[in-house]
Amino acid sequence: MKAGIVGGGAVGSLFAAFFNSAGIASSLYEKDSILAVAMAEGLSVNMPDGELVFRPDIASDPEIIAASDIVFLFVKSYSTDEAMRDISPVLKDGSIVVTLQNGIGNREIIERHLPAGRVVCGSVTIGATRIDATSVAYGGSGSVVIGGPDRGAVEAVRSLLERAGVPVETHERPDEVIWRKAVINAAINPLGALLGIPNGKILESPDALILQEFIVKECALVAASRGISLDAREMVEATREVCRKTAANLCSMLQDLRAGRRTEIDSINGAFARFGREAGIAASYNEAIYRLVRAAERPPAS
C-alpha cells in the first residue's frame, strides 16, 4: 500500500522518515509552497539510531497524494476542515484517512467529507521537534493507538504502521483514546509553552506539577459529562509518564508560540473549558490556561 501524508510539520516529517526507512512508498502534501520546495531538496530527521537524510516525494498540490491508499492527516486541528476540502476531490475510491491529531473533534470534521468507515482515528505519543525548514529531531519514544468502525480499515492501517516499525495497537473505543490524549495534551502542552521548557522539565517544577494535577482532574470531570470514563489518578500518572518518555521534546504548542504561529489551544484546553460550561462544570484551570495561551499568541503591542 502507498501512504500519503497531509502536513509537513514535525510529526508529518517524522512519519515520512519512518516510511522512507521501511521502503514504503509515500507522498507528502504540504500546502505551504515555500516549505514544500525547501523540503523537496532534502529532509534531515535525527532518528534514535542516527541521522536520516532523504528527499521526500512532496508538493503543494494535493494531487501528490491521489494514488495513496492510506492518508495520514497531520495538520493542526484548526486546519482539518480546510485540509479535507483540499484533498477530498483527489482521494481515490476506498482510500482511508487516518487522524492522529491533537485535540477533540477532528474525526467529526473528517466525517463531513468521507463515510465513517473510511476514517481511522486515534493518538500518537511519539514526539518530534522542528529545528528548521528541512530538519526535524525525534523527541521521544511512544506509540500509536487506533480504532474505527470498519475493522478492515483499522487492520490495514495497523499493518502499514507495523511495516514502518511504528509501535501500534488497536482499541475498540477510539474516542476514549482521543480524549485520553487530549487530557494529556491539556496538562503538558500549555505548561511547556508558557514556561518555555521541554516536557521533562515540567517534572522538576513542584508548582507546575500541582497545576498539572488540577488540570487533569478537571478534564476527567468534563470527560465524564460527555460519556467518557477516565480515572483521574491514572491519568495524572499517564501524563507524567509521557513527560518522562518525551523529556527532551519541545511540545508543538511551544514550537508554535516561538514561531509566532497560532496554537491548537482552542481544541485542547479551550474545548475542555467549553464542554465544562455546557455541562455546568467549573473548568476554571482549563479556562485560565486557555486564556493565558491565547494572550501569549497575541501579545500586546509594544
Count of the separate structural domains present in the chain: 2
Residue 43, C-alpha cell as written in the block: 529532509
Q: How many Cα atoms within 13 Å fall on the side-chain side of residue 53?
A: 3
Q: What is the CATH number of the domain that holds 225?
A: 1.10.1040.10
Q: Are residues 21 and 167 both part of a single domain?
A: yes
Confidence at 140, pLDDT banded by 50, 70, 90: confident
Alpha-carbon span 214 to 207, nearest angstrom: 11
Cα of 72 vs its chain's centroid, Å: 11
Distances (CA, A) of 11 to 3, 85, 102, 111, 127: 15, 21, 11, 22, 7
Q: Are residues 17 and 131 both part of a single domain?
A: yes
Q: Are residues 26 and 7 both part of a single domain?
A: yes
Minimum mean pLDDT among 20-24, 86-90, 184-188, 298-302: which range? 298-302
Question: Does pLDDT of 178 surpass 90?
Answer: yes
* pLDDT score of 196: 97
* pLDDT score of 230: 96
* Main-chain dihedrals φ then ψ at residue 227, nearest 5 degrees: 85, 15
Domain boundary among 138, 172, 206: 172
pLDDT for 195-229, tens place per residue?
A: 999 999 999 999 999 999 999 999 999 999 999 99
Q: Are residues 220 and 166 both part of a single domain?
A: no
* pLDDT score of 165: 94
7: left (phi over 0), alpha (psi -120 to 50) or beta: left
Is 79 among the domain residues?
yes
Is pTM beyond 0.85? Reply is: yes
Q: Are residues 155 and 200 both part of a single domain?
A: no
* pLDDT score of 302: 59
Is 215 among the domain residues?
yes
Q: What is the CATH number of the domain that holds 138?
A: 3.40.50.720
Q: Are residues 99 and 196 both part of a single domain?
A: no
Q: Are residues 122 and 133 both part of a single domain?
A: yes
* pLDDT score of 48: 81
Alpha-carbon span 35 to 9, nearest angstrom: 10
Query: What residues are annotated to the active site?
Result: 181
pLDDT for 31-46, tens place per residue?
A: 999 999 999 999 999 9
* pLDDT score of 301: 66
Domain boundary among 121, 155, 172: 172
Q: Are residues 155 and 233 both part of a single domain?
A: no
Alpha-carbon span 257 to 156, nearest angstrom: 36
Q: Are residues 223 and 147 both part of a single domain?
A: no
pLDDT for 114-135, tens place per residue?
A: 999 999 999 998 888 889 999 9
CA nearest 7: which of 52, 46, 56?
Answer: 56
Domain boundary among 129, 144, 172: 172
Is 302 among the domain residues?
no
Q: Are residues 242 and 197 both part of a single domain?
A: yes
Minimum mean pLDDT among 11-25, 233-247, 288-302: which range? 288-302
Residues 6+ apart with CB under 8 A from 44: 51, 52, 53, 134, 135, 136
Q: Are residues 27 and 112 both part of a single domain?
A: yes
Is 202 among the domain residues?
yes
Q: Are residues 234 and 155 both part of a single domain?
A: no
Percentage of the chain lying above the pLDDT 70 cut = 99
Domain that holds residue 287: 175-297
Residue 186, C-alpha cell as written in the block: 491539556
